[in-house]
Amino acid sequence: MKIAVLFGGPSPERDVSIASGAQVVRSLRADGHDTLAVDISSGVLGREEEDRLFQATLSGTPPPCGKGASVLSTLSRVIAELPDVDLYFLALHGVPGEDGSIQAVLDLAGLRYTGSGMKGSAVAMDKDLSKRLFRLAGIPTPDWSLLSSPTAGACPLPCPVVVKPNNQGSTIGLTVVRDPALFAGAVAEAFRYDNEVIVEGFVPGREFTVGILDDAPLSVGEIVPQLGEIFNYESKYKPGGAKEIFPAGLSEAKTLELKELALAAHRALKLKGYSRVDFMLDGDGRFWCLEANTLPGMTATSLLPQSAGAVGIDFTALCRKICASAQRP
């Protein structure tokens, strides 16, 4: 099969996307596929440029935002240049890519691609809309307030709160605010990355994640940050930044409860193919859904591959299953 792997782009999550793209490209080639590496900011990469890009290592801080104006023209050119591609594998993170924009273009072109469709991708990327749907589906999620102006005023919820961009991933622009005097600064930081900001009640406790594949939950994992109290960008991508335990040390009953909640969240947002859903477990033993990720990290040590690996699905098999479940025009 001829597969084009899309990654990169102008998002602050560009470096993470490149790392995911590199791992997917290597795996698909080893599995016998004719695989093309495509940076949506520049186009199809030659082997020399590909090697240079894929050899870069992730730093503990996100790269600056790039300009996204060329993404549509680049993707349109790639589609025209590659009429015989059977499948587009999306290894994109952030905006555009995870917000439904790329999916809409591929839908209009009648092309097959991996992951959720335009509607589910757009809704899942919007934290405010996601949380509204979680509530309607009976899935517990922390209280929140949406800000549409950087003129913050007083904090709308009792501290501590989490302040974060409404449409962003990898905890970019996220701050835990314990002192109301620091609220305005946290809001200003979050507005650097989006034109809407979420203020969410902070849930102290243990953090868990559940991979979803083919409408079924994979292994539950526990995330134990080592560089601070939350699983932030530095904890995610610096070596030793967190302990990730698969399967998590939960009772059978709590494991089943969490898997059911994760699948309910996946379905509530009308997601397809695969996803990863994140939760907190508070001191009273109650789970709180934080968000669903439609295009979770795909490096060998990312959480979704670990969740799959714990139930006997290695990285190559995971890529095969993702390809098999791809969206059809």
Q: What is the location of CATH 3.30.1490.20 in the chain?
A: 144-201
Angle (CA) 44-48-53 rounded to 5° is 75
- Known active-site residue 34: no
Other beta carbons within 10 Å of 263: 17
Q: What is the location of CATH 3.30.470.20 in the chain?
A: 125-139+205-318
* Domain range 144-201, its CATH number among 3.90.230.10, 3.30.1490.20, 3.40.630.30, 3.40.50.1100: 3.30.1490.20
The set of residues, in sequence order, having a beta carbon less than 8 Å from that of 204 and lying 6+ positions away, is: 280, 282, 283
CATH code reported for the domain at 125-139+205-318 = 3.30.470.20
Would the pLDDT of 65 be above 60? no
Q: Tell me the per-residue pLDDT of 179-215, one tens digit each, with 9 for 90 and over.
A: 999 999 999 999 998 999 999 999 999 999 999 999 9
The set of residues, in sequence order, having a beta carbon less than 8 Å from that of 255 and lying 6+ positions away, is: 220, 247, 248
Q: Tell me the per-residue pLDDT of 16-63, one tens digit each, with 9 for 90 and over.
A: 899 999 999 999 999 999 999 999 999 999 999 999 888 876 555 554
Cα gap 200→292, rounded to integer Å = 15
- Known active-site residue 233: no
Query: Which candidate in 297, 302, 307, 309 is catalytic?
Result: 297
pTM for the whole structure: 0.91
Other beta carbons within 10 Å of 252: 7
User: Which of 94-108, 118-132, 271-285 shows the lowest per-residue confidence on average (mean pLDDT)?
Assistant: 94-108
Query: Which candidate in 88, 233, 237, 274 is catalytic?
Result: 237
Q: What is the location of CATH 3.40.50.20 in the chain?
A: 2-114
CA 284 to chain centre: 28
Cα gap 159→75, rounded to integer Å = 44
pLDDT cut 90: percent of the chain above it: 76
Q: Tell me the per-residue pLDDT of 102-134, one tens digit each, with 9 for 90 and over.
A: 999 999 999 999 999 999 999 999 999 999 999
What is the DSSP track for 156-222? SSPSSEEEEESS--TTTT-EEE-SGGGHHHHHHHHHTS-S-EEEEE---SEEEEEEEETTEEEEEEE
User: Which of 141-145, 203-207, 234-238, 246-250 shows the lowest per-residue confidence on average (mean pLDDT)?
Assistant: 234-238
- Known active-site residue 207: no
Fold of 2-114: Rossmann fold (3.40.50)
Confidence class for position 68, pLDDT limits 50, 70, 90: very low
